[in-house]
């Protein structure tokens, strides 16, 4: 058996507040099956589903599903490099969607700062298993065991594992909060970040969501400034 690592991009950044304490999470596709990844390997859904079930029982439910910043050389967790704790791992189609809390460790703070500065990061899984050839595809065999569902890396290999930003508050997200308070939601777009095709979909969903509320005015900065001036 050999160490097998796979990387995915992108993931969402989530900020959640509980009892006045804010926590940062990443969420997205952590594991993919039935598709050939950048390493030329494919995982069978049945094999991964079995391992995810074990991982949930033995690690996530017991609060010891840890991940590192960067890609270690072996399957064991290096506690001095731990950056996050995985809190959810659920199936969605042929993928597995995960959620991880960034910890207040040195590596966790580095990851949080990188994401906050708009650096595009991904997640990478680690496991042990053998590889068999099926035609031109290298298929991970049934003896595969999942060691870590997600490390945070800069260069993922699975097709759909990069992270984007969604910020949630204590009771509502930014849009809902602005509507509830009768205020302003200022949407700022940076082409080098939001211009990626994977993020245009998120922007479209956000606009459609805002349009679902009555009495919402879409305006430019100049129009908002003129409106405020007229209220004086």
The residue ranges of every structural domain in the chain are: 2-165, 171-231
Among 22-31, 102-111, 208-217, the range scoring the smallest mean pLDDT is 208-217
Active-site residue, from 23, 83, 84, 124: 124
Residue 175: pLDDT over 60: no
Distance CA 212, CA 175 (A): 12
For residue 162, name the pLDDT band (cuts at 50, 70, 90): very low
CA dihedral (36, 38, 39, 40) in degrees, to 10, reads 30
Q: Any bridge partners for residue 163, and if so which?
A: 11
Is-catalytic flag, 221?
Answer: no
Active-site residue, from 71, 138, 194, 196: 71
Give the pair of three-digit tokens for residue 212.
């679902």
How many CA within 13 A on the CB side of residue 60?
20
Distance CA 139, CA 107 (A): 33
Is-catalytic flag, 125?
Answer: no
> What pLDDT is stored for residue 82 in this prediction?
96
């Amino acid at each position: 058996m050999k160490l097998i690592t796979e990387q995915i991009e992108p993931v969402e950044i989530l900020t959640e507040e509980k009892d006045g304490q804010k926590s940062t999470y990443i969420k997205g596709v952590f594991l993919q099956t039935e598709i050939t990844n950048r390493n030329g390997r494919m995982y069978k859904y049945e094999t991964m589903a079995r391992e995810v079930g074990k991982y949930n029982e033995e690690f996530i439910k017991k609060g010891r599903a840890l991940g590192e910043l960067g890609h270690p050389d072996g399957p064991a967790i290096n506690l001095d490099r731990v950056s996050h704790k995985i809190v959810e791992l659920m199936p969605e189609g042929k993928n597995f969607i995960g959620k991880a809390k960034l910890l207040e460790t040195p590596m966790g703070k580095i990851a949080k700062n990188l994401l906050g500065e708009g650096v595009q990061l991904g997640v990478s899984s680690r496991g042990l298993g053998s590889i068999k050839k099926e035609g031109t595809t290298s298929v991970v065999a049934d003896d595969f065991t999942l060691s870590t569902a997600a490390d945070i890396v800069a260069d993922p290999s699975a097709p759909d594992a990069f992270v984007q930003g969604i910020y949630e508050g204590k009771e509502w997200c930014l849009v809902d909060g602005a509507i509830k308070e009768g205020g302003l939601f200022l949407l700022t777009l940076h082409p080098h970040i939001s211009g990626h095709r994977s993020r245009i979909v998120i922007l479209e969903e956000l606009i459609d969501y805002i349009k679902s509320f009555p009495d919402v005015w879409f305006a430019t900065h100049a129009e908002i400034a003129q409106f405020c001036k007229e209220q004086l």
